[in-house]
Structure formats: C-alpha cells, structure tokens
C-alpha cells in the first residue's frame, strides 16, 4: 500500500514541479510583453505571477517532505 | 481604459509614428468578462477538494495524501486564474487618427496584432450591438466596423467593451472626420446651376416649390 502512496506522491510532485516551471515561464513571458508590446502589466499583476511561482515551489517542497516522511 | 504610465512605447515604432497621429480611444474588454471564468475556476477547485477530502480523509484517513493533492488543485486553480487575468489585460483596442489596432497577447501561447491602416480603407458601416440582460445592465456590447475593401478579416470587431454606444459614435465621428470628401453630396443630386443645386424637385412638380434650394 505504501508503494501506491509513494507513486501518488511522486505524481503530485511532478505535477507541482511542472506547474512551477509553467508559472515561471508565464511570468517571464508576461514581463517580456513590456519590451515587445505597447503595454506593461501593472505591478499588482506582476506580483501575483511571482507569488504564483513562489507558491509552486513551496508546494513542491511540502510534497517532497511527505515523501521523505513516508520513506524514512 | 489605460493609465498613461502603462503606455511604454509609441504605437508602431516601426515604421515611426507620424507626428500628427493621436490616440483617440483606448479600450479593453469589460472586467465582467473575467468574473465568470474566475468564479468557475474557484467552484471547480472547491468541488474537487471536497471530493479529495471525502476520498482521502473519510475513506482511507491519509492526511498527507489529502494535503498534497489539495495543494496541486490550489496550484492549478491559481495558475488558471492568473492566466485568465493576464490574457484579459493583454487584449485591448486602440483607435488613433491613422489606424485601428487590436492587440491580443497571450504570454507563452499566442501573439496577435491586427493593425488596420485607415487611409487604405473606408468604413462603410459601424454596428453597435448589445444583447442579453447582463450586457444591458452593465452596458457591455460589441462595435463592428465594416470596411469597403477586404482587410484580412473584412470586419473589425471590438468585442465585449464597456459603453459600446459612445465608442461607436466616437468611431464614426473619427472615421468620418478623416474622410470629409465622402460626406459631400453624391454626384447625382448636383445641378449645373450652383444657385439651385436640388432642381430635380422643380422638374418633377413644375410650379411647386418644396422649399429646397
């Protein structure tokens, strides 16, 4: 049963990491609009994207903690 | 509407913006357009979290599994909401004295700019439409501009903008002012005698004057 749990945790970890990378790229490309287009994102929206990236990697750490707890 | 600090570049820096080109209108879609998708994202996240609570807490009593899966659900919902808001913010319309511009930038996904040069086309029709109860209450609608020659879309649509009537009237004013020759009397009403330009009524009804001179 533990083996199934670990597989589930790893799946969640992969999804979280993928979303973290996606959020990072999304924030970078949103910032890029400032250089390429005629409009810049407001500060609040930029902060939201950065917070999103931060949360993604915090969640990855938390899931990693659960996996380690189960293994050790 | 945009604030001035948000404009960081002149429209169309290549080729250079004409000195006399002025921005007449800057609009984006009404904020209500993003309310429903954001609301549904939150509702779906709550529903999925409730199901996970039932599955992992009530059925198999695994708090770790529940927390990790709920974190992923929260992350997906946050990412979706951020995308909806940024996509809405980066989709806007600009009318200047020389062009109509639609910019639709979806970071990481697509980049679309529709630039119609007004001195290359003439607008033949400007339609204003407002349908639905919510649209009537919040004053949301579409302005559709048809051109006399095909651009790549033939029609320029400003969709779900706030106060479409005023925008439509402003557009028709702006587009007509740029082409005053089109507002002159059509040639088939002109008379050779400049004192009686509309002599046609006198010819149809001789002896009767309708006060048109």
User: Among all residues of chain B, which has the CA nearest to that of A16?
Assistant: B72
| Phi and psi, residue B168, nearest 5° | -60, -45
pLDDT average, residue stretch B139-145:
88
Judge contact between B127 and B171, C-beta under 8 A: no
A48 in Cβ contact with B104 (< 8 Å): no
pLDDT at B207 over 50: yes
Residue B164: predicted pLDDT: 86
* Chain B CB within 8 Å of residue A68 CB: no
Distance CA B18, CA B21 (A): 5
Q: Which of residues 1-40 of A touch B (CB under 8 A)?
A: 5, 8-9, 12-13, 15-16, 19, 22-23, 25-26, 29-30, 32-34, 37-40
pLDDT in tens, B91-123: 888 888 888 888 888 888 888 888 888 777 777
Question: Residue with structure tokens 């800057």?
Answer: B26
User: Comparing C-alpha atoms, which of A67, A48, A68 is closest to residue A56?
Assistant: A48
* Beta-bridge mates of residue B146: B125, B155
* Length reported for chain B: 213
Compare CB distances from B75 to A16, A39, A66 and report the shortest one's residue: A16
Q: Kindly list the residues from chain A whose CB atom is less than 8 angstroms away from the CB atom of residue B85.
A: 45, 48
| Chain A residues inside the 8 Å CB shell of B72 | 12, 15-16, 19, 59
Task: Tell if the CB–CB gap between B107 and A29 is shorter than 8 Å.
Answer: yes
Tens digits of per-residue pLDDT, A8-63?
A: 889 999 999 999 999 999 888 888 777 766 667 788 888 888 888 998 889 899 98
* Of B194, B167, B20, nearest in space to B97 by CA: B20
Task: Quickly tell me which residue has 């979706």 as its tokens.
Answer: B80
Residue B203 above 90 pLDDT?
no
CA separation for the pair B11, B206 (Å, rounded): 58
By C-alpha distance, which of B178, B189, B58, B54 is closest to B123? B178
The residue in chain B having the minimum alpha-carbon distance to the alpha carbon of residue A64 is B68
- Chain A: residue nearest B56 by CA? A5
pLDDT for residue B45: 96
Place of tokens 């062009």: B99
Interface check B7 vs A, CB under 8 A: yes
Backbone angles phi, psi at B212, to 5 degrees: -100, 115
- Surface-to-core class of residue B128, CB atoms within 10 Å of its CB (0-12 exposed, 13-18 middle, 19+ buried): middle
DSSP H or E segment with residue B28: strand B23-28
Contact B98, B117 (CB under 8 A): yes
pLDDT top residue among B7 and B117: B117
Please tell me which residue of chain A has the smallest CA distance to B110: A29
Is 50 exceeded by the pLDDT of residue B58? yes
B174/chain A closest Cα distance in angstroms:
22
Which of B52, B56, B79 is the best substitution to test chain A (most A C-beta atoms within 10 A)? B79
What's the pTM?
0.74
On whether any CB of chain B is under 8 Å from the CB of A60, the answer is: no
Say whether the ipTM exceeds 0.85.
yes
């Amino acid at each position: 049963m533990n083996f199934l749990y670990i597989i589930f945790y790893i799946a969640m970890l992969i999804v979280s990491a993928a979303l973290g990378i996606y959020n990072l790229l999304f924030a970078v490309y949103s910032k890029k609009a400032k250089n390429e287009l005629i409009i810049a994102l407001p500060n609040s929206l930029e902060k939201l994207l950065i917070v999103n990236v931060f949360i993604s990697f915090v969640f990855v750490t938390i899931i990693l903690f659960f996996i380690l707890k189960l293994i050790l | 509407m945009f604030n001035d600090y948000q404009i960081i570049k002149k429209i169309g820096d290549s080729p250079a913006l004409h000195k006399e080109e002025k921005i007449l209108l800057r609009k984006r879609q009404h904020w209500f357009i993003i309310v429903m998708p954001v609301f549904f994202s939150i509702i779906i996240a709550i529903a999925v979290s409730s199901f996970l609570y039932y599955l992992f807490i009530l059925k198999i009593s695994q708090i770790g599994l529940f927390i990790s899966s709920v974190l992923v659900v929260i992350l997906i919902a946050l990412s979706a909401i951020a995308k909806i808001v940024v996509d809405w913010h980066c989709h806007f319309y600009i009318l200047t004295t020389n062009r109509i511009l639609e910019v639709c930038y979806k970071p990481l996904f697509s980049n679309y700019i529709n630039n119609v040069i007004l001195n290359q086309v003439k607008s033949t029709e400007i339609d204003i439409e407002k349908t639905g109860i919510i649209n009537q209450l919040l004053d949301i609608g579409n302005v559709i501009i048809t051109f006399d020659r095909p651009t790549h879309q033939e029609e320029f649509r400003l969709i779900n903008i706030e106060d479409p009537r005023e925008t439509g009237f402003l557009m028709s004013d702006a587009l007509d002012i740029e082409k005053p020759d089109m507002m002159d009397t059509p040639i088939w009403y002109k008379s050779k005698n400049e004192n009686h330009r509309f002599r046609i009524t006198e010819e149809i009804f001789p002896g009767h004057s309708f006060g048109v001179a």
